[in-house]
Amino acid sequence: MAKIAKTGIFRALGLKAKMKGANYGGEWFATSGDYITSRNPTDGKVLAKIEQASPKDYDKVMKQARKAFLAWRELPAPKRGEIVRQVGEALREKKDMLGALVSLEMGKIYTEGLGEVQEMIDICDFAVGLSRNLSGPTLQSERPRHRMMEQWHPLGVVGVISAFNFPVAVWAWNTALAWVCGDSTLWKPSSKTPLCGIACQNIVNEVFKRNDLPAGLSCVTIGRGSTIGEKLVNDPHIPLVSATGSTRMGQRIGGVVGARLGRAILELGGNNAIIISDKADMKGALASAFFGAVGTAGQRCTSTRRLIIHEKIYATFLRKLKANYKNVKIGDPLDPKTLMGPLIDETAVADYEAAIKAAKEQGGKILYGGKVLRPFGAPTFVLPTIIEIENKADIVQNETFAPVLYVMKYKRFDQALKMHNDVPQGLSSSVYTDSVGEGESFLSFLGSDCGIANINIGTSGAEIGGAFGGEKETGGGRESGSDSWKMYMRRQTNTINWGGEVHLAQGVEFKA
Ligand code: NAD
């Protein structure tokens, strides 16, 4: 397959070298005079410059988003689902080009870029089905001839803040659900991947216009976290902020939204481990550890950061893993032969170097990697790295968003579990074992303390059908499948007296 060129991607997705960063349907606009530069992480070259939304531009967008919500909530949910079905179709048509843009701007390899767009299509399909089943239970009343039930109503304007590493899918996880739930949405994409934000908005704008829907249903304001991001999280017109990013960002946003008693879904950093038992299928464990640690150049929230390996198989497992590492083809993410692309920018590379230095100082031994590469001039490529170190080392306790894998050994399964949970984060986790006892104890209340716990598959690569998110410093939020939609609606408990006679609850008597 021939490599997709930048000009083709730009043409297909309505992108230009200079653009404006605010939109609620129709023309893009911005008045800040302050530009964000989108760079290709592969060679450091400028892809485009985007004028940030100013606070006034934000207010204009928000006014429209609030108006759109009032009209959109009037539409029956299955009709809203039909619009989301059309968004899914539009994404199918643009899958190749949008996937290529993700590779170009973010740096993940093309097959992963395509996978990310597939995830958007999948959540649209999921949301369409959901639109006919946003249901609450009917409950038994203690009062004679009464009925109780729960209803779910649209919430308002949902604010979405996304990270650079899933520059399109996380937006879709939130918006597909929010739209069928009857909400309008306002998105602040990562300022490292603004083009992905503009391209997605252009795709939905066409669908919404064709259906004559109110302007403001889908809105975007591009800008930095410290400017437009802060404006969004402080905005009392946003009842729900769904924010994906680092734990530091989540602490800030959680505090601000909490202080105004708003609702927040926080999807933050992970520190994901696989326990590899001596009773494991070695081939499967190798494949999962390899993809988990090296895939997306270690820039997934669910990337495998730690391997806790039984001492009996420790040496053999690492010998085989290193052999895989030696075969990793590093290069242009749009080249079909490439297995690992660049890190997002030079700051990420500096974090990688700092982690390796710290690991050495804290007793770590580099088993593979530890070097920065410059295949295209820009110092944004690194060797995937394996470091033998103790779990309690400070550097292991923190998430470094790069392909650095910490390995350690264990003797008894209860020791492995203790090590596994002994980090501040709690996103994704896995055990490789053919022992029912080990597997079940990993999933039990005594086992993994993460939001995602797997047996015989790795930590990375969740499906949209399940609720996605994690515990502890990962923030506690859940997005995507299962009943995550409930966060995007307001719940109402109803009691209906169909018998006529008034009965007070708990047998209270109150008569004159
Ligand atoms: P980041 O925290 O630097 O930025 C994330 C987003 O938050 C960006 O859009 C940024 O502009 C915005 N932001 C930052 N400060 C803000 C503020 N004060 N107010 C409002 N917005 C603000 O994260 P990143 O480097 O883009 O992404 C990597 C991180 O994201 C990693 O820690 C990774 O684990 C995490 N992540 C988590 C999940 C998950 O679902 N748990 C998914 C993807 C990424």
Burial class (CB in 10 A: 0-12, 13-18, 19+), 505: exposed
| Ligand 1 center–CA 42 separation, angstroms | 21
Closest residue by Cα to atom 22, ligand 1, is 225
Q: What is the distance between the alpha carbons of residues 381 and 338, in angstroms, rounded to a whole number?
A: 12
**Residue 127 CB–ligand 1 contact under 6 Å:** no
Q: What CATH superfamily classification does 21-268+475-492 receive?
A: Aldehyde Dehydrogenase; Chain A, domain 1 (3.40.605.10)
Q: How much is the pLDDT for 137? A: 97
Is the model's pLDDT at 2 over the cut of 90? Answer: no
| pLDDT mean over 297-326 | 98
Q: How much is the pLDDT for 1? A: 62
- Nearest to 227, CA basis, from 29, 30, 39: 30
**Residues 432-470 pLDDT 10s:** 999 999 999 999 999 999 999 999 999 998 999 999 999
Among 186, 220, 235, 249, the mutation site with the greatest number of ligand 1 atoms within 8 A of its Cβ is 249
Atom of ligand 1 nearest to the CA of 189: 9
**Residue 264 CB–ligand 1 contact under 6 Å:** no
Is 196 part of the annotated catalytic residue set?
no
Q: Are 16 and 195 in contact (CB under 8 A)?
A: no
**Residue 401 CB–ligand 1 contact under 6 Å:** yes
Q: What is the distance between the alpha carbons of residues 31 and 20, in angstroms, rounded to a whole number?
A: 8
Is the model's pLDDT at 354 over the cut of 80? Answer: yes
**Residue 166 CB–ligand 1 contact under 6 Å:** yes
Among 105, 108, 165, 222, the mutation site with the greatest number of ligand 1 atoms within 8 A of its Cβ is 165
**Residues 3-22 pLDDT 10s:** 788 999 999 999 999 999 99
| Ligand 1 center–CA 75 separation, angstroms | 33
Q: Are 364 and 383 in contact (CB under 8 A)?
A: no
Atom of ligand 1 nearest to the CA of 427: 41
Q: Chain-wide mean pLDDT for the chain?
A: 97
Burial class (CB in 10 A: 0-12, 13-18, 19+), 351: middle
Atom of ligand 1 nearest to the CA of 399: 32
Burial class (CB in 10 A: 0-12, 13-18, 19+), 278: middle
Q: How much is the pLDDT for 461? A: 87
Q: Of 116, 267, 473, 479, which residue is the catalytic one?
A: 267
| Ligand 1 center–CA 345 separation, angstroms | 15
Phi and psi at residue 378, to the nearest 5°: -70, 135
| pLDDT mean over 393-417 | 98
Q: What is the distance between the alpha carbons of residues 96 and 111, in angstroms, rounded to a whole number?
A: 10
Report the 10 Å Cβ neighbour count for 377: 10
Contacts of 73 (CB under 8 A, 6+ apart): 153, 154, 182, 183
High-pLDDT (> 70) share of the chain, %: 100
pTM over 0.85: yes
CATH 3.40.605.10 residue ranges of the chain are: 21-268+475-492
How many CA atoms, within 13 angstroms, populate the side-chain half-sphere of residue 283?
0
Q: How much is the pLDDT for 4? A: 85
* Strand order, beta sheet including 35-39: 18-20, 46-51, 35-39
Q: What is the distance between the alpha carbons of residues 143 and 300, in angstroms, rounded to a whole number?
A: 52
Atom of ligand 1 nearest to the CA of 401: 31
CATH 3.40.309.10 residue ranges of the chain are: 272-467
**Residues 110-156 pLDDT 10s:** 999 999 999 999 999 999 999 999 999 999 999 999 999 999 999 99
Is the model's pLDDT at 399 over the cut of 70? Answer: yes
Is the model's pLDDT at 417 over the cut of 90? Answer: yes
Is 267 part of the annotated catalytic residue set?
yes
- Which CATH number fits the domain 272-467, given the four candidates 3.10.310.40, 3.40.309.10, 3.40.1710.10, 3.30.300.20? 3.40.309.10
Tokens of 407: 């390995």
High-pLDDT (> 90) share of the chain, %: 98
Among 251, 301, 425, the mutation site with the greatest number of ligand 1 atoms within 8 A of its Cβ is 301
